[in-house]
Each structure stands twice: as C-alpha cells, then as structure tokens.
Copies of this chain bind each other. A is one copy, B any other.
Amino acid sequence: MPRITPERREAKRAEIVAAARRCFARGGFHQTSMPDIAAAAGVSAGAPYRYFASKEEIILAIAADAFRLIFEPMEQVAAAADAPSLGDLVAASLRALGAGTVTDAAGQVVPVEELLQCVVQTWSELLRNDGLHARAAEGFERVRRSIADALRRGQAAGAVPTVDPESGARVLIALLHGFLLQRVAFGLTDTAGFNDAVRGLLDGAEHPDGTGR
C-alpha cells in the first residue's frame, strides 16, 4: 500500500538523480555531500535514502547514464546495416556532443556540459571502484566490438583503410574521449573545426568531397 503512485516515485527519484548530477558536475563526487544533494533536490537530508541505499548507488546510476549517453550516437551509426566511413563514425559522436542538451534514462533533460563533467569524474572513480569498473569495462567492450564490426564492413566496402579493426575501434573511441576531455577542461569550443580536422586526417584521401559530414 504505497503512499504515492509508482509514477510519482519514479519522478521523485529522477529529480534526486538530476539534483545529484548538477552537484557532481560542479563539485565532483566526493566534494559533494549528501546534504548538498538533498538541498539541491529541495528535500531534507534523510529523504534521498528512501530512494537510494547509499551515495555510491547514486553515483552508479549517474555514471551508467553518462557512459551510455556518450556512446549512444557512435554505437547507433556502428550498428546500422551499411558500411560507415571513419568520418561518419566520428561525426555522429561529435554531433551529439555539440547539441545543448540530451535526455537521460528517466527522461530528464540534461545539459551536455553537465553530462561531460560527470563522465570525467567517472573516469577517476573507475580507478578505485571495482564494481563501477567492471560495469564500465563491459559497456566499453560492447561498444568496441560494435565499432570493430562496422570497421570490418567498411573495409569490405573499401571505405576504411586496412588496419586491425579491434585496434582501429580503440583509436576512434580515443578520439571521442579525448575530444570530450578537451571540451570540458581545455577550452575546445569549435566542434565543427575538430570534426573537420579529424575527417581531413582520417579519411580525407578516401572522401575528399566531404560525404557523410
């Protein structure tokens, strides 16, 4: 006999997650206190514990969301049936990060800047949270295999140079991660310029006409 409907409970939980994400983006996971999160969500200090067993559970929820949202665009292009070029894969990733907002698992609208800051915080957390590391590594491998498959298709179609697809996928993800870091921490605002440079360096020889940007 719940006091509130499941829908309202889910909405409240999403509010707390959103408040926590705002706090984490600004102050980091460990400089943000639970009272900070509660205050940002407009509730008292004990309220979040009706929805999450611990602070770590909130961190896990946000980290999973952040990683998924970062990889989603590249993975969708990689999962398409045709043979994407390298430029297509990179462009898809960057276009999503160039937008102002994204929508998280609970339907909350999240500023991209906030999401990216949480991703960088999560990287640090990976190094000492084994549970988070295991989940993140699993997700990473799934994306990597998906991209490697796309590269193999691209190579068969002659649109991708003949490199080891497994390592090639890692290179593309490295570009995405590196872009993300510069956008958050090193004043990279010219997404289009970065994208053009990647295309020019990667497959400019194959696609001088700029197809797929």
Give the interface size bracket for A toward B: 35 or more
The copy count of this chain in the complex is: 2
CB-defined interface of A186-211 with B at 8 Å, one 1/0 digit per residue? 11101001101110111111000000
- In the complex, the answer to whether B128 meets A120 with C-beta atoms within 8 Å is no
Distance in angstroms between the alpha carbons of A197 and B168 in the assembled complex: 5
Contact with A185, one of B121, B133, B168, B196 (Cβ below 8 angstroms): B133
- In the complex, the answer to whether B171 meets A177 with C-beta atoms within 8 Å is no
- In the complex, the answer to whether A177 meets B170 with C-beta atoms within 8 Å is no
Interface of A toward B, CB cutoff 8 Å: 25-28, 30-31, 86, 117, 120-121, 123-128, 133, 136-137, 140, 161-164, 166-168, 170-171, 173-179, 181-182, 184-188, 190, 193-194, 196-198, 200-205
Pairs A–B under 8 Å by Cβ, sample size 27: A26-B128, A28-B124, A28-B127, A28-B128, A121-B124, A121-B127, A123-B123, A123-B185, A133-B185, A140-B186, A161-B200, A163-B196, A164-B193, A164-B196, A164-B197, A167-B190, A167-B197, A170-B188, A170-B197, A171-B197, A171-B198, A171-B201, A173-B178, A174-B175, A174-B179, A178-B178, A201-B203
